[in-house]
Amino acid sequence: MKKTNPLTVADIVMIAAIAVTAVCLFVFFAVKDVSSSGTQDGILTITVDGESYASYPLNEDKVIEIGDTNVCEIHDGRAYMKSADCPDQSCVHSLPIDSDGEVIVCLPNKVVLEVSEEKKSDDGIDSVAY
């Protein structure tokens, strides 16, 4: 009886195809990770009174009106509150945000701007006490 070769040509082609796919996937995810830790890949999420309002990528300049009360702007990969009708204006005075987990809050109008995505702030600070 002829001994069957355990590896036929078709097998080798299949193994090669799978290996190529694996390498491609690996490269794809590696590149994706690198790019998401770059400077302008954050997402700005806006919530009003706990409800999700809208999300925008930080890499496109944009002015966003949030209802009738607040206006937020994305410029140069950073987001800030351009104006608000609240009495204390502390949201307008907050520094622009661009790193994962940073927030600007307008308490009177219950508006929260939050940056998400993998991106460490330069100083490596996890949280700020105030």
Binding positions for another protein, rule: CB under 8 A = 1, 3-4, 6-7, 11, 14-15, 18-19, 21-23, 25-26, 29-30, 32-33, 36-37, 47, 49-50, 86-88, 93-95, 100-103, 105, 107-108, 110, 112, 114, 116, 118, 123-130
DSSP secondary structure letter of residue 22: H
Biggest CA pair distance of the chain: 92
Closer of 68 and 130 to another protein (Cβ)? 130
Closer of 45 and 74 to another protein (Cβ)? 45
How long, in residues, is the chain? 130
Would you say 47 and 112 are in contact if contact means Cβ atoms under 8 Å apart?
A: yes
Q: Which residue has the tokens 């806006």?
A: 46
